[in-house]
Chain A
Amino acid sequence: MSAAVSDASFAARRQAALGDADLRDALGNIQTHLVEGRRRALADVPQFDALRDEASRIKTHALDHLDIYLEQFAAAVTTAGGHVHWADTGADAKAIIQTLCESVQARAIVKGKSMVSEEIELSSFLEAQGYQVVETDLGEYIIQLREDRPSHIVAPAVHLKRGHYADAFRAHHTALPPDRDIAEPEQLLAEARAILREKFLGADVGITGANFLVAETGSAVVVTNEGNADLAMTLPKVHIVLATLEKVVPTLDDALTLVRVLARSATGQAISAYTTVVSAPGKDTAVAGPEQFHVVLLNNGRTDLLQGRERPMLKCIRCGACMNHCPVYGAIGGHAYGWVYPGPMGSVLSPTLDGRAAHRELPHASTFCGRCDSVCPVRIPLTSLLRGLRDEQSATGLAAPWPRRWLRLWGWMVLRPRLYRTVVSLGARWVRIGTSGRLRRLPFLRGWFDSRDLPAPAAQSFRSLWAARQAGRGTPS
């Protein structure tokens, strides 16, 4: 179990989230901006479904032939003068990056946004080694200042309001006049830009993630709106790309197809402001840019997913559409999920990457309404994967004991129709006692009735009504 998992149970975290008014506002913003934005962006692209089929085909093919494409990618990076480092675990990746930083006597590191670095807790590790590490994506920067965690994979600070930024800026930017006016978002951005500009200029190493790796050319494709990753990979003398194995795709054309579905699904933009295809400098020595280009290829459990039923989960391009459209995420936000990946994709990834027991409740954090399946740009069957995890829990005895016992009893009963009908009809009669059409309370379901009621069951079952009706009609002539 990772240190990032809160000690509270999922039930306690989810309950706390439901009572958080700021969080409700923030989650409303996701509906207004991201869900609406995606809808508008898709209206401009009538062929979007064909594009999704193509995107899905590319990722499936890349995963099914991953060894060959990883070989090609590594060879292409090396040919162009770059370096590839293979890391089996998060600890391996951190050790490699530490060694690289030591080799150039680095002191200051700037980072682009990378969920993989959150996954392995890279920044806190490097800080503990004495490096100054600065997150440069505005959302990640405020998260770092507040020692908080991202609550969304695309909009990490979606749970925070402008006042949170102002408080954190006053607490940390102590060289600035304490009575300055930073009430408005424009003022906050101007201050962050000025502070972070100095960090960019003073950094020895820039670390970015990658949205895609291109086997054909040995390139990383890095997408941002702020331009922060571009400064991080251009100004320092060493550029390190940290990416997991499943990011590799065959060709640049394939990566561009994925770019076409990425931002439309994520933020409703046709494309993000900056999409950069970055490679080792090779013979392009006339360019003022970094002298060294390193790619750390991290496994961290991906090969377990590759081997098992969850292979399709590795197609994920981290757009966040599944969480934006999820009624459960929409009610409880990202932190309640307990690890770096929230929403439906997180409910598959957290158990499979970070421990099935630690995240036992997440496969159940879904209504199976299927909106995630219907919006996924690479057609990951999220609800099937979640159902598979539930089945597995039931088979391995990991499922919570009481629901399991009830389900087993229920399963036993439905196989005996006469008994089932008798029990259900007695039960229906019993819960109707003293009600006037609505149920307001039932044993074992107190939580449900805190804020809702249920229609009382009908006095007679459909089956008995139907039997009576057929009997009344007599034999057709």
Chain B
Amino acid sequence: MSATVMAKVRAALGPDIASRRQAVAQWMAAGRASGTPALAASVSAADAVAIFVARARAVKATVDVIAAAALAERIGTQTAQWGRHGGVAIADRPVLRALREAPWANGARIGAVTATDAVGIVQADGGAAETGTLVLVSGHGQPTAMAFLPEHCIAVVPASAIRLDYNAVIRAHCAGRDWPRSINLVTGPSRTADIEEVLLLGAHGPRSLTIYVLEDC
């Protein structure tokens, strides 16, 4: 079947495969010069965190910039409320280790998630200021479903991992290592406008997204 389809593609494009190969090699070598992160051209990297916070709020995420030491207490207040409706799942990631010592985390699921969990606490590998987008790279200790199954998603992102554009964040986390199963760009809580174009939050993914930007991390 591959032969049939490829033969049809080649018949449509013409016989000069060698020059096409060369053009492709050139395109690939030009690399990201071809991907224009045009949106952020006018702002400096120093503005990235402020822009990220403003744009994430614009898509109905709750965003706070806090010190790493305050994280456990802040999340504890939220989970005290939401955790009554189901379990709490915490990703097994370095920035979240300190949470496990907190009294509220007693009984929390670590590094795994099930359908009965009401809260998923994940670490974002980075953030892209251009649209207030979190970047989550799948890998050890943080299954993809953790950011999708529970009703409430709490994402923790170090301020130092926030860049202007998607491309820079993905490069920082995926270049030079085994390519991950999934890279999730998450922009606000899940939503739908399928019923009469009325915007509703909490479609199949989380109903709420809380982002803690760690200013000293």
Which residue in B5, B167, B195 is a CB contact (below 8 Å) of A297?
B5
Closest partner residue, chain B, to A311 (CB atom): B12
**What residues make up the interface of B, taking CB atoms closer than 8 Å to A?**
1-2, 4-6, 8-13, 17, 20-21, 23-24, 27-28, 31-32, 34-36, 38-39, 41, 55, 59, 112, 115, 130-131, 133, 138-141, 143-145, 148-149, 165-167, 170, 178-198, 200, 202-206
What residues of chain B lie closer than 8 Å to A408, measured between beta carbons? Answer: none
Interface size for chain A: under 10, 10 to 19, 20 to 34, or 35 or more residues?
35 or more
A-B contact list, 13 entries, CB within 8 Å: A26-B196, A65-B13, A67-B9, A70-B6, A84-B2, A155-B197, A185-B198, A216-B28, A254-B35, A259-B166, A273-B186, A277-B170, A303-B9
User: What 13 additional pairs, Cβ within 8 angstroms, besides A61-B23, A64-B20?
Assistant: A29-B196, A47-B41, A68-B20, A139-B192, A226-B205, A230-B184, A253-B167, A254-B34, A257-B34, A260-B38, A273-B186, A274-B184, A279-B179
Contact A50 B38 (CB under 8 A): yes
**What residues make up the interface of A, taking CB atoms closer than 8 Å to B?**
26, 29-30, 32-34, 45, 47, 50-51, 54, 57-58, 61, 64-72, 74, 80, 84-88, 92, 136-139, 142, 155-158, 161-162, 165, 185-186, 188-189, 193, 196-197, 200-201, 216-219, 225-228, 230-231, 233-235, 245, 250-254, 256-257, 259-260, 267, 269-284, 286-289, 297, 299, 303-304, 306-307
Contact A271 B9 (CB under 8 A): no
Distance (whole angstroms) from the CB of B28 to the closest CB of chain A: 6
What residues of chain A lie closer than 8 Å to B36, measured between beta carbons? Answer: 50-51, 54, 257
Contact B197 A67 (CB under 8 A): no
What residues of chain A lie closer than 8 Å to B27, measured between beta carbons? Answer: 61, 65, 250
Which residue in B32, B166, B204 is a CB contact (below 8 Å) of A227?
B204
Which residue in B9, B11, B190 is a CB contact (below 8 Å) of A70?
B9
Known: A185-B198, A226-B204, A286-B141. A33 touches B193 (CB 8 A): yes
Contact B139 A287 (CB under 8 A): yes
Contact A287 B181 (CB under 8 A): yes
Distance (whole angstroms) from the CB of B85 to the closest CB of chain A: 13
Contact B195 A67 (CB under 8 A): no
Contact B1 A231 (CB under 8 A): no
Contact B9 A288 (CB under 8 A): no
Contact B195 A251 (CB under 8 A): no
What residues of chain A lie closer than 8 Å to B184, measured between beta carbons? Answer: 230, 274-276
Contact B144 A226 (CB under 8 A): no
User: Which 5 pairs of residues, A with B, have the shortest CB-CB distance?
Assistant: A227-B205, A253-B35, A226-B203, A139-B194, A307-B12
Distance (whole angstroms) from the CB of B41 to the closest CB of chain A: 7
What residues of chain B lie closer than 8 Å to A256, measured between beta carbons? Answer: 35, 165-167, 170
Contact B34 A274 (CB under 8 A): no
What is the bound-complex CA distance between A65 and B32, given in angstroms? 18
Contact A196 B204 (CB under 8 A): yes
What is the bound-complex CA distance between A200 and B148, given in angstroms? 12
Contact B148 A227 (CB under 8 A): yes
Known: A256-B167, A280-B181, A303-B9. A227 touches B203 (CB 8 A): yes
Contact B143 A289 (CB under 8 A): yes
What is the bound-complex CA distance between A112 and B62, given in angstroms? 28
What residues of chain B lie closer than 8 Å to A26, measured between beta carbons? Answer: 196
Known: A87-B1, A136-B204, A275-B185. A260 touches B144 (CB 8 A): no
